[in-house]
């Protein structure tokens, strides 16, 4: 940990999150978990010091995401979406907006999230833009209309970082207050897992944004402008690896009672430790090819988190198959990584692994 992230405070946070019951319904926000995170300084970690943040670098942020996921995937996932909003704001050339928003975000006075999947992996096959942008007469700003398909914690957010496409194909990224006229956050979606992240669709009905609200653009491929992890980034892999390690810690409790299961736990623990090391190596090196490529690490992290949960469930026998058992929840939540910010190449790799396994067994 850096000098600005207290190691003891952070480890206490992880331990407390592991011991604190989490909600599992779309109607219940994990208020206790988010308060614990804020009290430990989580609002400051990824924001530059000049705005009141801790200025944690990207490599260390990966370590934070991984270790925090050991304590709570739900809390970490919500944090990644808030931090993604902060990254897009901080990288904006609109310095007046950056200087206005980031200090408030660091102090926890406002909460932000992103709705950007339609600009990256989600619905890119649709010819008509999911969110259309028109320039106002007199060039006073823009108007956005459409549906943002995935916005985590939108109903809790003061600010939503989202965007859309103009007729000529250029895109903009904007910071819109949830209270802005024309913004409607629909009720949170009941998901297979992580429903309490309160992920919603957001309707934009002729929403006006001035140039003061624009973070990036209009440009081609706005998600390539400025900083940001992007789909399938190492950050998502860090969360997957940490979630697997958290699952294996709970599986270890089962092994304490049934030592004969240790032969199944140890290889998974070694695999997780190896992936965690490779993640940190990739953070400081070439992420384009080979074992340390972003794609390779994400594919193997997806595989690990799914297999860890399934192995624990099998070890619990019938008890783990009942609703409410932590192994049952771990299996549901592990499926999340097959759909969250998962590029096609990674998905194909995971599908290929599954189908090859079945062919080998037939």
pLDDT at 80: 97
- The pLDDT assigned to 1 comes to 56
pTM of the model: 0.93
Q: What is the pLDDT of residue 3?
A: 54
Contacts of 235 by beta carbon, 8 Å cutoff, 6+ apart: 61, 62, 65, 80, 229
Within 8 A by CB and 6+ apart from 245, the residues are: 66, 69, 70, 272, 276
Dmax over CA atoms of the chain, in Å, equals 74
157-183 in b/e burial notation, b at 16+ Cβ within 10 A? bebbbbbbbbeeeebbbbbbebeeeeb
Supply the pLDDT for residue 362.
Answer: 40
What pLDDT is attached to residue 126?
Answer: 47
Distance, in Å, from the CA atom of 55 to the CA atom of 49, rounded to the nearest integer, reads 5
Please give the pLDDT value at position 351.
85
For the chain, residues with pLDDT lower than 50 are 122-126, 230-231, 358, 361-362
pLDDT of residue 293: 87
């Amino acid at each position: 940990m850096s000098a600005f992230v207290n190691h003891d405070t952070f480890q206490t946070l992880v331990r407390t999150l592991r011991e604190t019951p989490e909600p599992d319904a779309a109607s219940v926000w994990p208020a206790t978990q988010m308060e614990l995170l804020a009290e430990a300084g989580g609002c400051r970690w990824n924001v530059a010091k000049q705005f009141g943040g801790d200025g944690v670098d990207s490599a260390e942020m990966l370590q934070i995401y991984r270790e925090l996921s050991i304590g709570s995937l739900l809390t970490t996932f919500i944090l990644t979406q808030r931090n993604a909003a902060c990254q897009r704001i901080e990288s904006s050339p609109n310095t007046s907006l950056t200087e206005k928003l980031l200090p408030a975000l660091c102090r926890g006075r406002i909460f932000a999230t992103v709705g950007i999947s339609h600009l990256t992996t989600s619905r890119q096959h649709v010819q008509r833009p999911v969110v259309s942008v028109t320039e106002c007469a007199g060039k006073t700003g823009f108007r956005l209309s459409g549906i943002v398909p995935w916005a985590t914690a939108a109903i809790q957010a003061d600010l939503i970082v989202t965007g859309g496409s103009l007729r000529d194909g250029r895109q903009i990224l904007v910071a819109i207050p949830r209270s802005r006229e024309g913004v409607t956050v629909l009720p949170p979606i009941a998901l297979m897992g992580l429903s309490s992240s309160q992920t919603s669709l957001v309707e934009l009905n002729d929403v006006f944004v001035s140039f003061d609200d624009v973070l990036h653009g209009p440009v081609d491929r706005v998600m390539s402008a400025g900083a940001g992890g992007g789909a399938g980034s190492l950050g998502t892999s860090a969360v997957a690896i940490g979630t697997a390690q958290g699952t294996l810690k709970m599986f270890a409790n089962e092994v304490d009672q049934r030592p004969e299961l240790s032969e199944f736990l140890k290889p998974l623990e070694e695999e997780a430790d190896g992936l965690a090391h490779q993640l940190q190596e990739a953070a400081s090196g070439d992420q384009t090819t080979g074992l340390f490529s972003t794609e390779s690490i994400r594919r193997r992290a997806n595989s690990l988190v799914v297999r860890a949960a399934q192995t624990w469930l099998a070890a619990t026998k019938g008890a783990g198959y009942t609703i409410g058992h932590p192994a049952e929840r771990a299996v549901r939540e592990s499926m999340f990584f097959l759909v969250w910010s998962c590029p096609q190449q990674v998905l194909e790799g995971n599908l290929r692994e599954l189908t090859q396994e079945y062919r080998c067994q037939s």
